[in-house]
Chain A
Amino acid sequence: MAIQVEHEIHTRRRGRNMGVGLLLLAFIGLVFGLTVVKVLQLGDLRSFETFDHVVRPQILPENMETPAPTPEVSN
């Protein structure tokens, strides 16, 4: 069956549908903009990435060295 506009409701509700579409796009823009601003406001990348359950040498402060691996204790 061919896909086509088959009902007058599509023209009758065009204004509403366009309005809802524009509002949703605006909402996406808002959330995206807020995310960008909030992340940039962190300033230092480390404040965003530190807590990741894994030691990441590239985001440690410069004066802090990576801890040496603990030697295994053999019995």
Chain B
Amino acid sequence: MSDMSLHETTPETAYESQMGDYFALLKPRVMSLVVFTALVGLLVAPVPVHPFIGFVAILCVAVGAGASGALNMWWDADIDARMRRTVKRPIPDGRVQLGEALGLGLTLSGFSVVLLGLATNWVATALLAFTIFFYAVVYSMWLKRATPQNIVIGGAAGAFPPMIGWAVATGGVSVESVLMFMLIFMWTPPHFWALALFVKTDYGDAGVPMLTETHGRRVTRNHVLAYCVPLVAVALGLGFTSIGGPIYLAVAVIFNAWFLKGCYDIWRRDEAQAEADKYKVEIKTFKVSLYYLFAHFGALLIEAALRATQIGGL
């Protein structure tokens, strides 16, 4: 082989995709939430897991989430190129080719599912495979461009990780893991729509139906409160299961009262009031929603640590 052939096939002017570009395809910020909730699901379960197997399991969940992110970017490359928020993503920015994203997404999906199956059990593996399928196919391909309820149903994909963590430890599904799922599932709509109310998006220009644009801001405000009320019931109910306790309940009461007050304030206002104070209530409630989820899962972790200490002391 001569040097000439290399020069001909790889012109120096062509952009060379770097590891960081491929890593950006995996949506690392989403991955961090997935890792945190999956880890809590695994640690609060009543069955201890070997630390190394636990590490491999969480890694598989993170890689699986990243893989579905890459498949999402592959499918949505056309609309990503039309929205300000997403135009700098690796594919529309020309740093990664479409086929590379598809290949990476499929490879990492297979890798994460097979490795989780070999390392843990097939219930957890089936849940991870279904999560990837749900996010990449049900949400990205079927729902995202078809219905303004896309964020509600698509939120299920983000709600599965604690269930997977729980299944890694116990090998099954139980009321505790279903309630952890429901907590994230019911939290997603008010969290996202609070954001949608104060951020000017261009989803409409890209052909993605968002509730604020298809049904208006009044309906969106109604939906924020409508989803918050059952969310409170789920969050408090989790406190009475085997993974709850007084600390969790205290945290849940405080944060649910805080978040419910915010959602109620959003519902009570109209656009004129919101514009007058530059969406102060909506912004504040969105921030509370971030603390809300972290506080609930953090409290579950504290309860688990206390139980472990008591068991160790007996």
Contact = CB atoms under 8 A, between A and B. Distances in A.
Q: Are these two chains actual partners, yes or no?
A: yes
B6 A16 contact: no
26 contacts: A6-B3, A7-B6, A7-B7, A8-B12, A9-B6, A9-B10, A12-B12, A12-B16, A13-B16, A15-B18, A15-B19, A16-B16, A16-B17, A16-B18, A19-B19, A30-B56, A30-B59, A30-B115, A33-B56, A34-B53, A34-B56, A34-B118, A34-B119, A37-B50, A37-B52, A37-B53
A33 to B, nearest CB: 5
Contacts of A74: none
A34 B60 CA distance: 13
A13 B21 CA distance: 13
A16 B22 CA distance: 10
Interface string B45-81: 0000010110010010000000000000000000000
Interface of B: 3, 6-7, 10, 12, 16-19, 50, 52-53, 56, 59, 115, 118-119
A60 to B, nearest CB: 29
Q: Report, as a range, how many residues of chain A touch the other chain.
A: 10 to 19
A41 B50 CA distance: 9
Given A7-B3, A16-B16, 8 more contacts: A8-B12, A12-B12, A13-B16, A15-B18, A19-B19, A30-B59, A34-B118, A37-B52
Q: Which 9 A-B pairs have the closest CB atoms?
A: A19-B19, A37-B52, A7-B6, A12-B16, A33-B52, A15-B18, A37-B50, A34-B119, A9-B10
Interface in A28-63: 30, 33-34, 37, 41
Interface on chain B toward A: helix, strand, loop, or mixed SS? helix
A9 to B, nearest CB: 6
Interface on chain A toward B: helix, strand, loop, or mixed SS? helix
Contacts of A9: 6, 10
Contacts of B53: 34, 37
Contacts of A13: 16
Contact of B52 (A15, A19, A34): A34
Nearest to B17: A16
A23 to B, nearest CB: 9
Nearest to B23: A19
A41 to B, nearest CB: 7
A7 B17 CA distance: 18
Contacts of B10: 9
Nearest to A10: B6
A35 B17 CA distance: 34
Contacts of A41: 50
Contacts of B18: 15-16
Contacts of A12: 12, 16
Nearest to A40: B50
Contacts of A34: 52-53, 56, 118-119
B66 to A, nearest CB: 13
B90 to A, nearest CB: 14
Contacts of B19: 15-16, 19
B205 to A, nearest CB: 35
A7 B7 CA distance: 8
A30 B115 CA distance: 10
A16 B18 CA distance: 6
A41 B49 CA distance: 11
B2 to A, nearest CB: 10
A6 B12 CA distance: 14
Contacts of B17: 16
Nearest to B2: A6
Contacts of B12: 8, 12
Contacts of A37: 50, 52-53
